[in-house]
Chains A and B, each alone.
Chain A
């Protein structure tokens, strides 16, 4: 039903509830008017009676009583005076007499004022007024005589006084009786009036009751109950939408109109409810979106009053609930933030920036907060003169950016500047360089670090690098710059260098400090350092040149025996570069198949029987041809390539040997550097296992230099290898400082007399005696002896004559690929034909 229909329905309505109520109300009003008129009438009658009673009856009775009492007091004073002889008391009595006389006069005068007094009263008042002076005069005489001790006279006067008083008392008594009678009549009239009032009130109440009954029934049944149903329905409707119809909507009266109006409101309400739900949903979603924003959002109107802000904004600035209320002044919020010292800037700057924003400028800026946070604030003006501001906390992002920037320029392991940063610093130092100024670049390479890293693992290696970094940092001055260029390479820019000696001193200090033992995870580690120095601008005008030259100097230092430093010299450039290039070539040689094993037989000199082949590595460079081992082996040892090269040699030698006759052994040389790798035993085992070669067919040749360090770990590894069945051979025996001592430190299976002794056998010097002594010693120790480097018959004869059990040398065969020996091994049963 629409409003127009509702209006039409109301217009067609017949006599309704209102007319009934008006009619009943009119009747009720009439009854009330009658009741009021009767009540007023009898109230006035009652009032008149009460007034009369008050003004004449009661007042007169009261006054007569007071008069009687006052006269009695007056009389008592006068009549007691004659017997009194105390003048002081008489004086008091005199004063009281005067006072009472005065009060009597006043009271009598009051009696005379009565307006509605009857005749009796008037006569009484006249009489008493006339007699009062005589009474007072008689009393005065009594008081006078008594004061003058004339008791007889006083008694006489008192008698006269008594007569007058008696008469007055009698008149007062009569008057009092009269007045009581008058009051009684008045009270009777009052009672009659009250009874009439009661009658009329009862009649009116009965009439009202007769009217109120129908009125009440009409209101209760015709209005209230129906109204109750409608209001109940409305209450329920207010709580939830209702499908059922509104009660009484078909009635043709005002309540029907109301019900129909409720029906209209219900339909409109349902529509509004639906819209409200939609709006609430939108609001909820909006709130959800606002309060889940990672950014703070705040909106102000043109009067700088807060319209809305999300929770993130309040959280960012620690705003209280009070300050988040819409309508809050911007200045109040700013003052709160200023009071808390939220911004790093001054209060004046804070307030002035707001003026710019309020002026309608769309700006973005970054604010620093006192607690270290960085907030990007983007202001966008709105059409109504206000603005919306987005506050983004970019602290973490900036930290992340800073971290990324830091990591881009620093080594993640040691946190030292990396190569990039080092280059930047180098360029900067070059740009700042003034005439006469110098600075040094120190390229530091750790000695034996690769060995530690390979043998102990990367975890230990990393910790060691951290310790190295710390020591380096302690060696330099405040303005010097330490960087890790990668691996075990470090570099330092030493600024303010006035003399080369200072740089040398720093390098020496670093070498000394880095060479001190390290303790990592309970293990003691020993490494060293080699340092190359280049001086700017003398040794290079740009960073690349300086770095390269410092690097060359470092390689020279390594080549000079490690643990030393070397200044760059222009002539070292070419040779070092060549060496460096060769090292790079060597790294690729293995994969390129440029390495090959050659074998040289070890022969029983008496039978020509081949007992063993010594595997010898050969490098065939595509450009330089065969590179001698004396050139590339040290290079491999220095560069750390000896590890993979040695492993390849072991695997290849074992793989070859397993194909040979079972009595033949293969001998492989091991570098001391390989023993730094604690996995060496595993590598050898792996080679044996993968090839299937029995360990007893493997001879491992070491040099005396391995034992120079008297490392217990090395000895233990040798014992372990020997216990596996491999034979341990001392190579180049006799060239060391204490060769004999080494024989005591380890039970070698074989010793190889150095070729220098064999070479000199023919010259007749002490070599023969030495060789003889070595052979005798070996025999005494039950150790096999090999004479290597036998190249002539004479040398062979002499060796054989001394009792040497094995020989090796070009006299029998130069080192050759294993294929070259296949025929011998196959056809001559492994025996070489001896020339002798």
Chain B
């Protein structure tokens, strides 16, 4: 399963393993979901423009009072290795630039993002809509939402059994994931 575009993933992989048969990889979209920015319940900021979000993620805006919030330093919470969410945001919002913020908090898995945001009033978590909705955090709405596509990747053409799995995953995703 990949959460970003197949090409982006392959580019990343090629840097580490350049000799693999990347041309035999085929992606099958299972579902698409929306990226979501999680803030602490005590944070009064609920709306933000894509520009300001970009400025935050590029380290240009560092204080919440710059976007109508409390006088607190913004601390971005993200998964340590980046992953599909960060790749989608960087692709859709930062034009391929990497997120560059002072003193970020990096966690192991995406569920820990909202867990940290719940405990830190100054936190800004990069996550998916379904995770944010199921947490005790608030969503900071962006004027232009960012979508994320979830795909299953096969090596070569999928077998009938693979196709059954792909279809089953699509059925499950349609009931579980928020868009």
Complex CA–CA separation, A587 to B112 (angstroms): 164
Q: Does B24 contact A (CB under 8 A)?
A: no
Task: Give B152 Cβ to nearest chain A Cβ, in Å.
Answer: 28
Contact: B105 with A149, CB < 8 Å? Answer: yes
Q: How far is the CA of A151 from the CA of B105 in the complex (A)?
A: 8
List which A92-144 residues lie within 8 A (CB) of chain B. Answer: none
Verify B119–A87 contact, CB threshold 8 A.
yes
Determine the chain B residues whose CB is within 8 A of the CB of A151 once the complex forms: 80, 105-108
CA distance A87 to B77 in the complex (A): 15
CA distance A658 to B41 in the complex (A): 177
A-B contact pairs, 7 of them (CB 8 A): A83-B108, A86-B115, A86-B119, A149-B105, A149-B107, A151-B105, A151-B106
With A85-B107, A86-B119, A149-B77 given, can you name 14 additional A-B contacts, CB distance below 8 Å? A83-B108, A85-B115, A85-B116, A85-B119, A87-B119, A149-B105, A149-B116, A149-B120, A150-B105, A151-B80, A151-B105, A151-B106, A151-B108, A152-B106
Which residues of chain B (52-84) have a CB below 8 Å from chain A?
A: 77, 80
Interface flags for B102-115 (1: CB within 8 Å of A; 0: not) read: 00011110001001
CB closest chain-B residue, reference A88:
B119
**How far is the CB of A175 from the nearest CB of chain B, in Å?**
37
For chain B, residues 145 to 179, give those with C-beta under 8 angstroms from any C-beta of chain A: none
Shortest beta-carbon contacts, A-B, top 3: A149-B105, A85-B112, A85-B115
- Chain A residue at minimal CB-CB distance from B112: A85
Give every chain A residue within 8 A of B107 (Cβ-Cβ).
85, 149, 151
Report B5-56 residues with CB < 8 Å from chain A CB.
Answer: none
Query: Contacts of B119 on A, CB cut-off 8 Å?
Result: 85-87
Dominant secondary structure at the A interface: loop
Question: CA–CA, A87 to B118, complex, Å?
Answer: 10
Q: B99 to chain A: closest CB distance in Å?
A: 16
CB distance from B33 to the nearest CB of A (A): 23
Min CB distance, B80 to chain A, in Å?
Answer: 7
Give residues of chain A (707-763) contacting chain B, Cβ–Cβ below 8 Å: none
Question: In the complex, which residues of chain A have a beta carbon less than 8 angstroms from the beta carbon of B115?
Answer: 85-86
CB distance from A780 to the nearest CB of B (A): 169
The answer for the CA separation of A83 and B77 in the assembled complex, in Å, is 14
Query: How far, in angstroms, from A3 to B105 measured CA to CA in the complex?
Result: 119
| Count of chain A residues with a beta carbon within 8 Å of a chain B beta carbon | 8
Total of A-B residue pairs, C-beta within 8 Å:
22
Find chain B residues with CB under 8 A from A87 CB. Answer: 119
Q: How far is the CA of A86 from the CA of B107 in the complex (A)?
A: 12
B112 to chain A, nearest CB (A): 5
B75's nearest neighbour on chain A, judged by CB, is A149
Cβ of A375 to closest chain B Cβ, rounded Å: 112
| Distance of A87 Cα from B108 Cα, bound (Å) | 16
- With a 10 A CB-CB cut-off, give which of A149, A150, A152 has the most chain B CB atoms: A149
* Chain A residue with the shortest CB-CB distance to B77: A149
**In the complex, which residues of chain B have a beta carbon less than 8 angstroms from the beta carbon of A85?**
107, 112, 115-116, 119
Contact residues in A for B106 (Cβ distance below 8 Å): 151-152
Alpha-carbon gap, A152 to B107, bound state (A): 9
Residues of A within 8 A of B105 (CB): 149-151
* In the complex, residue of chain A having the shortest beta-carbon distance to the beta carbon of B115: A85
Instruction: List the A residue with the shortest CB-CB distance to B103.
Output: A150
Residue on B with the closest CB to A86?
B115
C-alpha gap A83/B116 in the complex (Å): 12
Nearest B residue to A148 via CB reads B105
Name the distance in Å between B28's Cβ and chain A's nearest Cβ: 33
- Kindly report which residue of chain A lies nearest to residue B105, judged by CB atoms: A149
Q: Mark A147-160, 1 if CB is under 8 A from B, else 0.
A: 00111100000000
Determine the chain B residues whose CB is within 8 A of the CB of A152 once the complex forms: 80, 106
Query: Closest B-chain residue to A83, C-beta based?
Result: B108
State A319–B5 Cα separation when bound (angstroms): 125
CA distance A151 to B104 in the complex (A): 11
Chain B minimum-CB-distance residue to A87: B119
Residues of chain B within 8 A (CB-CB) of A86 are 115, 119
For the complex, give the distance between the alpha carbons of A152 and B105 in Å. Answer: 9
CA gap between A429 and B116 in the complex, in Å: 143
CB distance from B40 to the nearest CB of A (A): 13
Measured in the bound complex, the distance between the Cα atoms of B116 and A87 in whole Å is 9
A151 to B112: give the CA distance in the assembly, Å. 12
Q: Given the complex of chains A and B, what is the CA–CA distance between A257 and B107 in angstroms?
A: 109
- B80 contacts across to A, CB distance below 8 A: 151-152
The B-contacting residues of A in range 584-613, CB under 8 angstroms, are none
List A137-185 residues whose CB lies under 8 Å from chain B: 149-152
Residues of A within 8 A of B77 (CB): 149
Distance A565 CA – B105 CA, assembled complex (angstroms): 162
Interface residues of A in 414-467 (CB under 8 A from B): none
Complex CA–CA separation, A713 to B115 (angstroms): 152
> In the assembled complex, which residues on chain B have CB atoms less than 8 Å from the CB atom of A83?
108
Q: Which of A83, A85, A86, A150 has the most CB of B within 10 A?
A: A85
State how many angstroms separate the Cβ of B42 from the closest Cβ of chain A.
15
A149 to chain B, nearest CB (A): 5
Chain A residues positioned under 8 Å from B108 (CB to CB): 83, 151
B116 / chain A contacts, CB cutoff of 8 Å: 85, 149
CB-nearest residue of chain A to B120? A149
Distance to closest chain B CB from A154 (angstroms): 11
Nearest CB of B to A445, in Å: 146
Cβ contacts A748-787/B at 8 Å (1 or 0 each): 0000000000000000000000000000000000000000
CA distance A150 to B105 in the complex (A): 7
Beta-carbon nearest neighbor of B119 in chain A: A87
